[in-house]
């Protein structure tokens, strides 16, 4: 049976799509058949970050409306075995996702996949609710700043009250905190919240800390998930995160200000 994981946040622009692409790719690299589903109807960012935007023919809404089947619509990644994308539609209205439709598609995917990763839109309206409703686990993407933490707190409330698991009285969604765009220098200066601050406020288990990194921008410009850039700090931090999601104990990295050596001071890095 597939595990459904929602990547959510409340706030926009915190790194949900970046994280969905990286974590989905990481799970597939670890040998698990994985599909990343873009719930962000109208924006369609995931296929850009995955570098498959030119291969989109049909989309999630087409499948829900019965205009195409999953086989026609899923895009198989060309680099990584076991990895598929279900793209969002660009033009339709945001209410095109119905609970019954989403459930039908997820059930069909669940027969074939180990992991279904749901990339949520921002906000707490219907699109975001739809992305989290059927989840077994949630990755709550949060930036170390007050507004992001506040929105994550609201989403954590939604996870425990507005999900199928909550409505059916099942064991709650397993929640993981993923702190992204972490900049130790700015934390040291007191301009950003620290890992400990955020952990204390949100009080859910920390699954990873992703540093603020130029590698993320490079990756999205080249349509290659940052986790495939194995030499980069952000890529390594996502690799660690995926291992933790799979139950391994991996120490946190990239939490402190790196003292730059002579070579790095001159050549950057
Ligand atoms: N760790 C990071 N370091 C630097 N930039 C990042 C990082 N994570 C995300 N970004 C940037 O932040 C912006 C929003 O990311 P995105 O994943 O689209 O967020 P969301 O899906 O939550 O709206 C993008 O420009 C992305 O490149
Ligand atoms: Mg997004």
What is residue 96's DSSP assignment? G
- Measured in Å, residue 109 CA sits from the centre of ligand 1 at 27
Mean pLDDT of the chain: 94
In tens, the pLDDT along 215-241 reads: 999 999 999 999 999 999 999 999 999
Residue 89 pLDDT > 90, yes or no? no
What is residue 257's DSSP assignment? P
What pLDDT was estimated at residue 267?
Answer: 67
pTM of the model as a whole: 0.95
What is residue 7's DSSP assignment? E
What pLDDT was estimated at residue 181?
Answer: 97
DSSP element (H, E) containing 206 = strand 205-211
SS3 at position 113 = coil
Stretch 245-256: mean pLDDT, rounded? 95
Q: Which ligand is nearest to the CA of 43?
A: 2
Residues 6 or more apart whose CB falls under 8 angstroms from that of 158 comprise: 124, 128, 129, 132
- Measured in Å, residue 119 CA sits from the centre of ligand 1 at 13
Residue 143 pLDDT > 70, yes or no? yes
In tens, the pLDDT along 189-205 reads: 999 999 999 999 999 99
What pLDDT was estimated at residue 90?
Answer: 80
Q: Cα–Cα distance between 92 and 166 in angstroms, integer?
A: 30
Q: Cα–Cα distance between 157 and 267 in angstroms, integer?
A: 46
Distances from the Cα of 19 to the Cαs of 10, 40, 61, 108, in angstroms? Answer: 15, 14, 23, 24
CA angle 192–250–253, rounded 5-degree value: 35
Q: How many helices (H) and strands (E) does the chain have?
A: 13, 8
Of 41-45, 49-53, 176-180, which range is least confident?
A: 41-45
What pLDDT was estimated at residue 258?
Answer: 75
Of 88-97, 99-108, 144-153, 170-179, which range is least confident?
A: 88-97
Strands (DSSP E) found in 95-173: 115-119, 137-142
In tens, the pLDDT along 11-42 reads: 999 999 999 999 999 999 999 999 999 999 88
- Cross-strand partners of 176: 139, 205
In tens, the pLDDT along 49-80 reads: 999 999 999 999 999 999 999 999 999 999 99
Residue 257 pLDDT > 90, yes or no? no
Pocket test for ligand 1, best of 7, 12, 14, 15 (most atoms within 8 A of CB): 15
Strands (DSSP E) found in 73-204: 75-76, 83-86, 115-119, 137-142, 174-182
Q: Band the pLDDT of 180: cuts 50, 70, 90.
A: very high
Q: Cα–Cα distance between 257 and 247 in angstroms, integer?
A: 28
Stretch 107-133: mean pLDDT, rounded? 95
Q: Cα–Cα distance between 149 and 201 in angstroms, integer?
A: 8
- Which ligand 1 atom is nearest residue 13's CA? 23
| Residues contacting ligand 1 via CB (< 6 Å) | 9, 12-18, 45, 122, 180-181, 210, 212-213, 216-217, 220, 234
- Which ligand 1 atom is nearest residue 9's CA? 22
Q: Cα–Cα distance between 217 and 55 in angstroms, integer?
A: 22
């Amino acid at each position: 049976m597939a595990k459904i994981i929602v990547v959510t946040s409340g706030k926009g622009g915190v790194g949900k799509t970046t994280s969905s692409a990286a974590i989905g790719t990481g799970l597939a690299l670890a040998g698990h058949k994985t599909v990343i589903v873009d719930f962000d109807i109208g924006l369609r960012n995931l296929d850009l970050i995955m570098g498959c935007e030119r291969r989109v023919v049909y989309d999630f809404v087409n499948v829900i409306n019965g205009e195409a089947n999953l086989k026609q619509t899923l895009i198989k990644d060309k680099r990584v075995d076991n990895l598929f994308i279900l793209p969002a539609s660009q033009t339709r209205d945001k209410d095109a996702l119905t609970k019954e439709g989403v459930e039908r598609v997820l059930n069909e995917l669940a027969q074939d996949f180990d992991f279904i990763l749901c990339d949520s839109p921002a906000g707490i309206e219907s699109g975001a609710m739809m992305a989290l409703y059927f989840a077994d686990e949630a990755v709550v993407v949060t930036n170390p700043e007050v507004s992001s933490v506040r929105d994550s707190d609201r989403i954590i409330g939604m996870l425990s009250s507005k999900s199928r698991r909550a409505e059916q009285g099942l064991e709650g969604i397993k929640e993981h905190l993923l702190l992204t765009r972490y900049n130790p220098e700015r934390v040291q200066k007191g301009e950003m919240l620290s890992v400990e601050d955020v952990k204390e406020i949100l009080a859910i288990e920390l699954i990873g800390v992703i540093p603020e990194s130029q590698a993320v921008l490079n990756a999205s410009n080249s349509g290659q998930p940052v986790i495939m850039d194995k030499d980069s700090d952000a890529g390594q931090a996502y690799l660690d995160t995926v291992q933790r999601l799979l139950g391994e104990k991996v120490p946190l990295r990239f939490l402190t200000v790196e003292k730059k050596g002579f070579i790095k001071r001159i050549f950057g890095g």
